[in-house]
């Protein structure tokens, strides 16, 4: 069969590396997984028990397309607790992971051919989902000189070159972990409002910051679409459950799309997700583990000559310049995986221009895994 032109997108290299690492592991090799952004622990017991109780209670049917009203109300309450925002629960849309949120946002906001600005390096699925939907990603280069973040000035410059439909930002960002500073976030929201650009803010790593606070775009504009997820801070990657906050006039638009594309998010995941909001102590304790992992892995990379790392303000990634050892990140990552069993993601997954000189390491794994990876790296590169 002949495939569609829309399907001709790049692979998600992190997932390709995971598949290769799993194959090596199945052959009996010792593999340390630092390639995917996935917490190394399960969701707390209270979350699991909520799911067990739902299973014991009987039939799990469809929910409304926008999600269970109780979960939407609990998410809205979270915005009051975390950011001091009075959010109408009717603006909350529960989604099948953040991935569904991006699809719904792009379809709700943009017509075929529209241009959307994204950071490069940035999460590869942004670019690939846009292309699959016949939209045009417009890369805004970020790096050490911009503190790895999009700015209002960069958005204006891109708009002067290309008629943009919108801008997608992420803070903390993937792959760098860098947080957009509060004043810069306010300026981005302002320029988007002034130039009638749709603003989508990926906030799935909120709660995972170290010494800084990640601001919510809704604190600066009521017109932003927020994408969030229970995957990262809440340790629920495989549950495939996330949420959006949308402007009031887009609720019905998103609802129609969600009804037809997804029917409804997984019911059992919604029930478990609601319980997750009451497990704050467990999650905050896990953040302390990530902070310790970050120190260990940062020290190991510095000892290996890989000390040029993007400001890792949050999330659970280190984006390291490997040019002292290689300018072929795919080959270097493959060699590291096969020779010492440490899996990482080549920078070209996130940056098609300069990513050949970078690797992304996740430090979300169990501390024993991070410590062992640090030792293997030091022996291999020392």
* Res 109: pLDDT: 98
Tokens 């209270």 correspond to: 46
What does the chain come to in residues? 382
Asked if residue 181 belongs to a domain, the reply is yes
Give me the half-sphere count of Cα atoms (radius 13 Å) on the Cβ side of residue 119: 28
Statement to judge: residues 292 and 273 lie in one domain: no
Q: Is the pTM of this model over 0.75?
A: yes
Statement to judge: residues 187 and 238 lie in one domain: yes
Q: What is the pLDDT of residues 64-88, one digit of tens each?
A: 999 999 999 999 999 999 999 999 9
Compute the distance between CA of residue 345 and CA of residue 174 in angstroms, rounded to an integer.
12
Statement to judge: residues 36 and 174 lie in one domain: no
* Res 382: pLDDT: 77
Compute the distance between CA of residue 103 and CA of residue 339 in angstroms, rounded to an integer.
38
Statement to judge: residues 246 and 146 lie in one domain: yes
Compute the distance between CA of residue 180 and CA of residue 178 in angstroms, rounded to an integer.
7
Statement to judge: residues 290 and 178 lie in one domain: no
Q: Is 75 helix (H, G, I), strand (E, B) or coil?
A: helix
* Domain extent for 343: 5-43+281-381
Asked if residue 357 belongs to a domain, the reply is yes
Statement to judge: residues 204 and 310 lie in one domain: no
Compute the distance between CA of residue 200 and CA of residue 13 in angstroms, rounded to an integer.
24
Statement to judge: residues 76 and 160 lie in one domain: yes
Residue 295, domain CATH: 3.40.640.10
Statement to judge: residues 115 and 246 lie in one domain: yes
Statement to judge: residues 128 and 241 lie in one domain: yes
Domain final residue pick, 255, 278, 301: 278
* Res 48: pLDDT: 98
Statement to judge: residues 94 and 219 lie in one domain: yes
Asked if residue 212 belongs to a domain, the reply is yes
Please give the tally of structural domains in the chain: 2
Q: Look at residues 177, 205, 175 and name the one whose alpha carbon lies nearest to residue 358.
A: 175
Tokens 């310049």 correspond to: 321
Asked if residue 49 belongs to a domain, the reply is no
Asked if residue 254 belongs to a domain, the reply is yes
Counting as low any pLDDT under 70, the low residues of the chain are none
Residue 316 makes CB contacts below 8 A (sequence gap 6+) with 37, 39, 177, 205, 208, 232, 290, 293, 294, 362, 363, 364
* Res 168: pLDDT: 98
Domain final residue pick, 224, 259, 278: 278
* Res 119: pLDDT: 98
Give the start-end residues of each E strand in 111-162.
115-120, 136-141
Asked if residue 52 belongs to a domain, the reply is no
Tokens 């992420």 correspond to: 170
Statement to judge: residues 267 and 353 lie in one domain: no
Phi, psi of 360 (to 5 degrees): -110, 130
Statement to judge: residues 111 and 257 lie in one domain: yes
* Res 58: pLDDT: 86
* Res 110: pLDDT: 98
Contact 309, 347 (CB under 8 A): no
Asked if residue 50 belongs to a domain, the reply is no
Domain final residue pick, 222, 257, 278: 278
Asked if residue 260 belongs to a domain, the reply is yes
Q: What is the pLDDT of residues 214-252, one digit of tens each?
A: 999 999 999 999 999 999 999 999 999 999 999 999 999
């Amino acid at each position: 069969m002949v495939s569609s032109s829309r399907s001709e997108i790049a692979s998600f290299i992190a997932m390709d590396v995971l598949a290769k690492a799993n194959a090596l592991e199945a052959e009996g090799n010792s593999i340390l997984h630092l390639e995917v952004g996935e917490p190394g622990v399960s969701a707390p017991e209270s979350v699991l028990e909520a799911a067990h109780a739902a299973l014991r209670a009987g039939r799990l049917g469809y929910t409304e397309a926008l999600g269970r009203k109780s979960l939407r109300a609990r998410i809205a309450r979270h915005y009051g607790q975390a950011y001091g925002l009075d959010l109408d629960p009717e603006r909350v849309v529960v989604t099948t992971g953040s991935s569904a949120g991006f699809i719904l946002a792009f379809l709700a906001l943009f017509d075929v051919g529209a241009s959307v600005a994204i950071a490069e390096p940035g999460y590869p699925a942004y670019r690939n989902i846009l292309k699959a939907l016949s939209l045009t990603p417009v890369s805004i280069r970020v790096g050490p000189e911009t503190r790895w973040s999009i700015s209002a000035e960069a958005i204006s410059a891109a708009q002067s070159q290309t008629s943009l439909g919108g801008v997608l930002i992420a803070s903390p960002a993937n792959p760098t972990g860098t947080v957009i500073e509060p004043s810069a976030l306010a300026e981005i929201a302002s320029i988007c409002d002034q130039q009638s650009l749709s603003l989508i803010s990926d906030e799935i790593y909120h709660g995972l910051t170290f010494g800084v606070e990640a601001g919510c775009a809704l604190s600066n504009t009521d017109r932003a679409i927020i994408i969030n997820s229970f995957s990262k801070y809440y340790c629920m990657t495989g549950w495939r459950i996330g949420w959006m906050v949308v402007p009031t006039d887009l609720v019905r638009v998103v609802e129609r799309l969600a009804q037809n594309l997804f029917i409804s998010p997984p019911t059992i995941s919604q029930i478990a997700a609601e319980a997750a909001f009451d497990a704050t102590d467990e999650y905050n304790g896990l953040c302390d583990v990530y902070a310790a992992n970050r120190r260990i892995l940062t020290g190991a990379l510095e000892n290996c000559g890989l000390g040029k790392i993007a400001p890792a303000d949050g999330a659970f990634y280190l984006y390291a310049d490997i040019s002292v050892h290689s300018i072929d990140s795919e080959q270097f990552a493959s060699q590291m995986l096969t020779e010492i069993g440490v899996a990482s993601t080549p920078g070209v997954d996130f940056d098609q221009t300069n990513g050949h000189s970078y690797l992304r390491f996740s430090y979300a794994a169990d501390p024993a895994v991070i410590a062992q990876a640090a030792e293997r790296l030091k022996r291999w590169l020392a």
